[in-house]
């Protein structure tokens, strides 16, 4: 039963919801607030938005909210940020899209930039390194928890399990992540080929996108290999990641490691772990890890270029998805391809957790921290924010 408002069909642009159009100032203030207090990752962000926009402000009915959430989950990029952008677009069109998304991102980006500046200047100080020493094992545990939560819903068949295993092996062998996603999409769609109606528009269009995009995606990957750092290249690397990344913010680790550590050598594995740890202790989107990395590589201009690059595709996808998502839902082949992309992303998470564990688990205390964190997260279901805070305090007090 829908509460508060009547449900409307998903479509771009402002619609008359429960409250109709809202002032841009009000939109900005509410998303600045959410961006400041939204600790705990995408699931927590979504819960806060449901409380704010459905229960409290009645901007959307519950069915409307869930419709927008489903749309956000079908798009590459950060789902909670895209949900925020959807809400802004519904209430004030293009202006609302920019205001809502920007205000949700800015508080975290500013805070991460400040932390990055301190890190670059004082990263070797005992208290800072002590906090990061204890946070890294917790980050590994959080990645494992996310993997465990998503695996049951992502692996819907034995064939998808095989696609995921193949994707993990290819990633471990050093294949480019974008190429692996294309292979996974094609493999996952294989079972739908015999049901494809070549006379209808749905199947033909569904195949046109991946086959036409594959050379472009390959060029995007190849164009970033072994190039010196420039702001333009930094922007393009992060824009590519934001445009092709399916799954939770933790899947971001695999893409960052593949491009910035293994291929371009712009970042060390230690810096990547430090960036992820900082992303965990700050509110707002996990994707502001890009802000930290951009600052580490190229200072304040790098932070801006990386942040704009990784979030820009989300704004674009939301603006055009009202027309595309119904077509995707009607196409069996496109839906199967999406399933393949999801299981490949999940495989990336599993492999990268193992790879990063080698850098994080350096002695007995770090092993104890990761095991204790896994028990608390998976069995007792402690909020990850409390674990992060406890690890930081432990590192500062006892590892200085």
State the Cα–Cα distance between residues 258 and 146, nearest whole angstrom.
Answer: 20
What local confidence, expressed as pLDDT, does residue 220 receive? 44
- Sequence spans of domains, the chain: 125-398
Size of the chain, expressed as the number of residues it contains: 400
pLDDT digits (tens, 9 = 90+) for 185-213: 899 988 665 454 434 444 433 333 343 34
pLDDT surpasses 80 at 249: no
Selected residue with higher pLDDT from 103 and 378: 103
State the Cα–Cα distance between residues 201 and 212, nearest whole angstrom.
Answer: 16
User: Average pLDDT for residues 23-49, to the nearest whole number?
Assistant: 85
State the Cα–Cα distance between residues 385 and 57, nearest whole angstrom.
Answer: 27
State the Cα–Cα distance between residues 316 and 298, nearest whole angstrom.
Answer: 26
Only one residue has tokens 């550590």, namely 261
Is the separation of the CB atoms in 207 and 192 below 8 Å? no
Q: What percent of the chain has pLDDT over 90?
A: 32
């Amino acid at each position: 039963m829908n509460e508060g408002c009547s449900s409307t069909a998903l479509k771009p642009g402002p619609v008359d919801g429960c409250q109709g159009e809202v002032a841009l100032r009000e939109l900005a203030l509410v998303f600045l607030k959410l961006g400041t207090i939204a600790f705990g990752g995408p699931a927590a962000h979504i819960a806060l938005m449901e409380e704010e926009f459905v229960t409290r402000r009645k901007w959307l009915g519950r069915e409307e909210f869930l419709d927008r959430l489903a749309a956000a989950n079908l798009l590459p990029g950060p789902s909670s940020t895209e949900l925020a952008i959807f809400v802004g677009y519904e209430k004030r069109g293009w202006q609302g899209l920019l205001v809502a998304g920007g205000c949700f991102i800015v508080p975290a980006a500013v805070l991460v930039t400040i932390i990055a500046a301190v890190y670059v200047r004082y990263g070797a100080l005992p208290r800072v390194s002590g906090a990061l020493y204890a946070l890294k094992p917790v980050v590994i545990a959080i990645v494992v928890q996310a993997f465990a939560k998503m695996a049951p819903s992502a692996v819907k068949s034995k064939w998808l399990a095989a696609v995921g295993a193949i994707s993990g092996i290819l990633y471990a062998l050093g294949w480019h992540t974008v190429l692996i996603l294309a292979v996974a999409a094609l493999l996952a769609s294989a079972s739908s080929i015999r049901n494809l109606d070549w006379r209808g528009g749905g199947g033909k269009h569904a195949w046109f996108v991946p086959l036409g995009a594959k050379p472009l995606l390959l060029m995007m990957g190849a164009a970033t290999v072994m190039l010196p750092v420039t702001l333009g290249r930094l922007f393009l690397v992060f824009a590519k990641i934001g445009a092709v990344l399916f799954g939770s913010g933790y899947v971001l680790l695999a893409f960052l490691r593949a491009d910035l550590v293994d291929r371009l050598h712009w970042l060390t594995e230690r810096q990547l772990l430090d960036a992820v740890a900082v992303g965990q202790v700050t509110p707002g989107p996990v994707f502001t890890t890009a802000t930290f990395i951009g600052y580490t590589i190229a200072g304040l201009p790098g932070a801006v270029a990386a942040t704009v690059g990784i979030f820009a595709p989300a704004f674009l996808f939301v603006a055009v998805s009202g027309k595309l998502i119904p077509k995707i839902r009607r196409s069996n082949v496109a839906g199967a391809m999406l399933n393949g992309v999801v299981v490949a992303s999940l495989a990336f998470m599993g492999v990268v957790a193992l790879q990063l564990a080698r850098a994080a688990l350096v002695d007995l205390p770090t092993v104890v921290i990761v095991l204790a964190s896994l028990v608390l997260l998976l069995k007792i279901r402690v909020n990850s924010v409390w674990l992060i805070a406890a690890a930081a305090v432990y590192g500062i007090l006892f590892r200085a």
